[in-house]
Structure 1
Amino acid sequence: MTDIHIDKKKLIHLRRDLHRHPEVSGHEKETAKKISSFLREYHPDEITENLGGHGIAAIYHGTKPGKTVLIRCELDALPIPEVNTFAHRSEYEGVSHKCGHDGHMAMVAGLAMICHENRPEHGKVILLFQPAEENGEGAKKVLADKQWKKLEPDYVFALHNVPGFPAGQVVVKEHIFTPAVHSIIIALQGRTAHAGEPQKGINPAYAIAEIIEEFRTLVQPDMTSDDFCQVTPVHIRMGEKAYGISAGEGEIHFTIRCKDNDRMENMAKTAETIVKEIARRHGLKNAISWTQGFFANENHPQPTQWIREAATSEGFDLFEKDTPFGWGEDFGLFTRKYPGALFGLGAGEKTPALHNPDYDFPDDIIPTGIRMFHSLIQKVTAQQ
């Protein structure tokens, strides 16, 4: 086990302060201020702010040339009301850290403390606090930011806490770790009529019903299959609550998940074809838009092996997962561009699920995440 000092008490205090003051995607201004203030206590050689929005990158240089490793965490919270009653519960109505990004930030902030005392001998360490992960916009904006050009890592790593697994267990999977996810918004325009004479209008209800049924045939729920596809209706709106009017327009939203990016591209084309054909048959105009896209997170072999080695050397329980997780993660945009890997960190078998209103990040796994990341930093910067 690596001989490093982790100030757990200070990091728990930071984590709980972040939990009390959550901010949703794209609005992490005060969160970024807190993180920036904390980082400056530990004197990075460079600090980049307003990266892709409110993002921050703290950079620690080694004394000799070498590889650059990036460790990424997320700034944003979710628009979910908190039901917990503990002292550090969210102070903001309808917003809370229900994905554990407060804990992820605390871990990476802990790395800043360690990098300050133990700068790498070779290479460079970038600690990235990324905005807007939850809506799939953050990674895209960070990578498009002109400030990114001076960063350009050789390897990238991130973790996500995973309830349902033993606390502190390291969960690894080579290749696809999380699927590609994209959400489709389908708007249908017909013509209103009197509810007593619906034949004189064009009501989208039957087209919506057909689209739901056709999309249902696309589902292949077996995560072990390369053809895995999950299509989930998430929102429907049609007409008005006016009982004398036959609706003349409607809108339906789905989230589509596929195992890899090529499959998602093909499924998107299929979905659009289905919508256009059904709309045509019913005499409806259609408008299709896509939102909150997440590339599949494809873990590269060597970085994944380093994760295994780090977990073993640190004495942590290591679990090899057979199938990808079902949720999306915009870290997939990083692993699409750079060699890297995302791994899971068990949050406890009885911990509430992610995005549940009673979820709270378990403070006891903060040191585990820090030790894993520190070990990975050492492995990458040792490469010549």
Structure 2
Amino acid sequence: MEKIVTIEELNYLTNFRKKLHQSPELSGFEKQTVQAVVDELKLCNPTTIITELGGHGVAAVFKGNLKGKTVLFRAELDALPIQEENTFNHKSKYSGISHKCGHDGHTTILIGLARTLKNNPLLKGEIILLFQPAEENGAGAKAVLEDEKFKSLQPDFVFALHNVPDYDNGTIIIKNNSFTPSVTSLKITLKGKTAHAAEPENGINPDLALQELIFAIKSMGDNNLESETFSVITTVYATLGSKDYGISADYAELHFTIRCWTANQLNDLKKIISAKIKSISEKHQLKHTLEWIFEFDSNKNNDEAVASILKAAESNSFKVIKKQTPFKWGEDFGTFTQQYKGAMFALGSGKQTPALHNPDYDFPDEITPYGIQMFNTIIKLMYV
């Protein structure tokens, strides 16, 4: 397959990516990032540009003259609340905010694809390049899909990629069925009654309930990757009372993240956990609340879409790994694959690359051409 990204083009795209990296924005606040994207898209002569999709999202639509499939490719816009430790010239300008998941690189790949579509106009069908906001908090995909402006697009297939450290540069990692798990976070509050610390029996302290809940909920996890009941339950936050040494506490708060291979499995586990919280709270005479937040649907990879990804990789002689179990991180592209035929694949970003969400991570620009080439080849395969 002919390479479509020259050294000059890669330099151009790298400069754009570094510009995004310098000015990261958190989920729901991607205004500057979107403006930079729109400015680039206008140079690519799409048929139309749709803005303010599900917040700060934007879609560029490229239409051919003949009828054909509508294929959507998605990238993410948002950064993370992480202090960057890197010292290179394009480091984040903002304290406590940085691109530590590679969304700046994913966005750049779609800009590269837009530039390719400008130079090689689509003959038939329709391509949608979606730049989605608020992936990191799980709100963006749902907001885009619920936006009336999106409902007129109706793709036949949806595709996305995610860079993954600890794999050789340019490796294409594929999997049928669940690619990433269903993920949710759980917030529990427990309310009792204060008392003098010398007379705790006159109050209701949530301390024993807090311990019991941690043990009970954690024991429901199953870390066997091969198991159909696989689940990862992680305690992420816990607090009890205040630093007032004469007071027996009356309030506790407990947070978990929970992930399962499928949405049905997660829903079943949520019911069991909810019942256990109610039971333990009543046992200790505590009022309680529970809230499920930051939910990510499982990426349900369609067999036909995965076959297109595999064929595209083989056409370009890229190394392919067929993963046996899903990745364990959440990705809200699953909201798309639950509704449309599609698939996500992983793009190896280097054996020595720091892990995602680490303060020293930076997207490796040398893998940008692989992403563009993969998406462009998928387009060609779709319209053969």
Quickly name the TM-score band, shorter chain normalised.
over 0.9
Indicate which of 80, 88, 91 corresponds to 2:90: 88
Structure 1 residue runs of 5 or longer lacking an equivalent are none
Q: Which amino acid aligns with 2:352?
A: K
| Aligned 8 A contact 2:3 2:373 in 1 | no
In 1: Cα distance, 2:117 partner to 2:102 partner? 23
Indicate which of 301, 308, 311 corresponds to 2:310: 308
Matched ranges for 1:271-286 at <5 A: 271-286=273-288
Instruction: Encode CA deviations 1:279-311: one digit per residue, 9 max, x unaligned.
Output: 000000011111100011110101001111000
Indicate which of 173, 176, 180 corresponds to 1:174: 176
Matched ranges for 1:248-287 at <5 A: 248-287=250-289
Q: Secondary structure at the match of 2:229?
A: coil
Q: Identify the residue that residue 14 of structure 2 maps to in structure 1.
A: 12
Displacement of 1:3? 5.0
Matched ranges for 1:129-278 at <5 A: 129-278=131-280
Q: Secondary structure at the match of 2:283?
A: helix
Displacement of 1:377? 1.3
In 1: Cα distance, 2:55 partner to 2:45 partner? 22
Matched ranges for 1:319-334 at <5 A: 319-334=321-336
In 2: Cα distance, 1:200 partner to 1:2 partner? 78
Q: Identify the residue that residue 64 of structure 1 maps to in structure 2.
A: 66
| Aligned 8 A contact 1:124 1:381 in 2 | no
Number of residue pairs aligned between Structure 1 and Structure 2: 382
Displacement of 1:224? 1.5
Q: Which amino acid aligns with 1:173?
A: K
Structure 2 residue runs of 5 or longer lacking an equivalent are none
Q: CA RMSD in A?
A: 0.8
Matched ranges for 1:99-110 at <5 A: 99-110=101-112
Instruction: Encode CA deviations 1:49-88: one digit per residue, 9 max, x unaligned.
Output: 0000000000000110010000000000000000000000
| Aligned 8 A contact 1:120 1:381 in 2 | no
Q: Secondary structure at the match of 1:337?
A: coil
Indicate which of 375, 378, 382 corresponds to 1:376: 378
Displacement of 1:118? 1.2
Q: Secondary structure at the match of 2:267?
A: helix
Q: Identify the residue that residue 36 of structure 1 maps to in structure 2.
A: 38
Instruction: Encode CA deviations 1:233-279: one digit per residue, 9 max, x unaligned.
Output: 00112211111111101110000000101000001111101100000
Tell whether 2:135 aligns with 1:128: no
Q: Secondary structure at the match of 2:45?
A: coil
Matched ranges for 1:332-347 at <5 A: 332-347=334-349
Indicate which of 22, 25, 39 corresponds to 2:24: 22
Displacement of 1:315? 1.2
User: Runs of 4+ in structure 1 displaced over 4 angstroms?
Assistant: none
Displacement of 1:216? 1.6
Displacement of 1:381? 3.0
Q: Identify the residue that residue 45 of structure 1 maps to in structure 2.
A: 47
| Aligned 8 A contact 1:160 1:345 in 2 | yes
Displacement of 1:116? 1.0
| Aligned 8 A contact 1:2 1:371 in 2 | no
In 2: Cα distance, 1:159 partner to 1:4 partner? 18
Q: Which amino acid aligns with 1:2?
A: E
In 1: Cα distance, 2:79 partner to 2:383 partner? 32
In 1: Cα distance, 2:302 partner to 2:122 partner? 23
Displacement of 1:226? 1.1
Q: Which amino acid aligns with 2:225?
A: M
Q: Which amino acid aligns with 1:375?
A: T
